[in-house]
Amino acid sequence: MKVNAYLEISAGADGTLVIRCRECDKELGPAGESYKKFATERRRPLSVVGVEYVATARQDDPFELREYYCPSCAVLLDTDVARRSDPMLHDVELRISADE
């Protein structure tokens, strides 16, 4: 089952449902958990977004850009803008049941 352009739910080697990179077939973890926990995370200042933001960027900016990559093929899976002090954003929750 396709989750987004680069992620899918499928059966893992042991038959349990896992979230997998569609680009390289790397299993990122159990389907019931956030794939971001298993991805490679990169945090950068928002000034990397572009010229429009650089003009208002401050050294003490409380926000950052978080990028999540497949740890195997390095395809960009997702990005978030969050406060530096905030925990990882769990913006996608997959509900998996035996009936589906």
- DSSP secondary structure of 32-93: TS-GGGTSEEEEEEGGGG-HHHHTT--TT--EEEEEEE-TTT--EEEEEEEETTSPPP----
pTM of this prediction exceeds 0.95: no
Q: Which residue has the higher pLDDT, 69 or 100?
A: 69
Q: pLDDT tens-digit profile of 18-50?
A: 999 999 999 999 988 899 999 999 999 887 887
Residue 72 has pLDDT above 90, yes or no: yes
Give strand pairing partners of 90.
none
- Tell me the average pLDDT of the chain: 85
What whole-number percentage of the chain has pLDDT above 70? Answer: 81
Chain centroid, CA 97 distance in Å: 23
How high is the pLDDT of residue 98?
55
Q: Is residue 100 over pLDDT 80?
A: no
Relative to beta strand 17-21, strand 40-45 is unpaired
